[in-house]
């Protein structure tokens, strides 16, 4: 992968070394994957990738140093570079890494020492698969509409969860889920929501549906029916779950932009190679001014998105600033720009671009979800506007 942007002042020596090492290691990480569309094949590939990322020490970047990680606090620039590089090579590898961080992030932020010690070292080693369970059938972007309940038993030893979660990444293969549920039924909206760690084998937790999407990933609907969770598995204070969910998403939102960058850079490289080699009208496709104009647009869209992405990461890492607005700008711009870049790349391939299995065809399917998950583009616009209006 072209890494000229690593010369920008956002990065330090360790970031450049990390990107180079990961780029060199990526082919071996993704070698021999089934690349099937059936759930069983996707599940097997995802498990393989988590194990390989763990063995390579890459998942150590997803947890704090005290629990097997690399640094005392998660380094946003490292997360972004890892996701950008993995996405360039294989979308499912990016997914596998990202969910180890997002799925365990609430534990890193608010778990008790016992919970951190039990779950995070296994996440760092790739020995346990994590998942983040927030969305419900009637509560997606509107988290305040959450209906899944968490009732504290009179004895106080357990919470009882009832309800469902859907569009849960790693659903069906995760070893544990960070689940958000309404613990105070008298409090409406975002207040009264609490967070819990729920092991996948907890009685009362079942997978009610596997969800197939255009770019295959492990996704499922979870059902909680009188699911008893130890009170010690509460993350942070009761009623503070919404705040914890937003803090977790804030950490990883810029890295979604980085994944989009990885997809866009791969599409750009594929398009340039095709334009240089495709013979047309006695010259090559690259000799045509319309092609050159398209490539100029693509390069500019990528750099614009990259600057926003790594500004957000740098502000968080170096300045210690809250980056809600900057991360939202990066996520919105990078995903929308990547969609435009990949669409243009596919167009340059002509009929070959829509052939199943072609790299640009796969990228076209991969990018579409990023404009929706972890806050759709429309939601990012509202977040940005609210921050500006403050």
User: Residue by residue, what is the 3-state secondary structure of 108-135?
Assistant: HHHCCHHHHHHHHHHHHHCCCCEEEECC
CB burial of residue 58 (10 Å; 0-12, 13-18, 19+)? buried
Catalytic residue among 138, 326, 374, 378: 374
User: Residue by residue, what is the 3-state secondary structure of 122-186?
Assistant: HHHHCCCCEEEECCECCECCCHHHCCCEEEECCCCCEEEEEEEEEEEECCCCCCEEEEEEECCCC
Annotated catalytic residue 374: yes
Q: Considering only CA atoms, which of 69, 136, 72, 77 is closest in space to residue 100?
A: 69
Strand 158-169, strand 149-152: pairing: antiparallel
Instruction: Kindly state the tokens that stand for 98.
Output: 């990202």
Instruction: Kindly state the tokens that stand for 245.
Output: 């969910």
Annotated catalytic sites, by residue?
374
């Amino acid at each position: 992968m072209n890494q000229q942007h690593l010369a920008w002042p956002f990065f330090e020596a360790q970031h450049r070394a990390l990107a180079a090492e990961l780029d060199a290691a990526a082919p071996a990480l993704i070698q021999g994957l089934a690349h099937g569309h059936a759930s069983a094949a996707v599940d097997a590939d995802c498990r393989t990738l988590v194990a390989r990322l763990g063995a390579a020490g890459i998942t150590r970047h997803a947890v704090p140093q005290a629990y097997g990680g690399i640094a005392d606090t998660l380094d946003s620039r490292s997360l972004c570079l890892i996701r950008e590089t993995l996405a360039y090579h294989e979308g499912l590898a990016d997914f596998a890494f990202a969910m180890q961080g997002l799925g365990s992030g609430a534990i890193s932020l608010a778990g008790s020492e016992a919970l951190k010690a039990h779950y995070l070292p296994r996440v760092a080693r790739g020995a346990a698969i994590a998942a983040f369970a927030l969305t419900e059938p009637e509560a997606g972007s509107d988290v305040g509409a959450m209906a899944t309940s968490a009732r504290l038993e009179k004895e106080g030893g357990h919470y009882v969860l009832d309800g469902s979660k859907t569009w849960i990444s790693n659903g069906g293969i995760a070893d544990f889920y960070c689940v958000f549920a309404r613990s105070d039924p008298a409090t409406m909206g975002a207040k009264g929501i609490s967070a819990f760690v729920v092991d996948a084998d907890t009685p009362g937790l079942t997978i009610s549906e596997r969800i197939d999407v255009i770019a295959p990933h492990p996704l499922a609907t979870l059902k909680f029916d009188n699911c008893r969770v130890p009170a010690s598995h509460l993350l942070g204070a009761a009623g503070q779950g919404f705040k914890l969910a937003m803090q977790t998403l804030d950490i990883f939102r810029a890295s979604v932009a980085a994944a989009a960058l990885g997809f866009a850079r791969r599409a750009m490289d594929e398009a340039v190679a095709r334009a240089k080699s495709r013979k047309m009208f006695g010259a090559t496709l690259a000799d045509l001014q319309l092609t050159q104009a398209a490539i100029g647009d693509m390069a500019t869209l990528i750099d614009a998105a990259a600057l926003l992405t790594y500004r957000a990461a740098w502000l968080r890492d170096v300045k210690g600033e809250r980056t809600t607005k900057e991360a939202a700008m990066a996520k919105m711009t990078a995903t929308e720009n990547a969609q435009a870049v990949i669409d243009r790349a596919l167009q340059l391939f002509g009929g070959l671009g829509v052939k199943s299995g072609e790299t640009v065809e796969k990228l076209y399917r991969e990018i579409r979800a990023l404009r929706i998950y972890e806050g759709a583009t429309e939601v990012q616009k509202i977040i940005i506007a609210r921050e500006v209006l403050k």
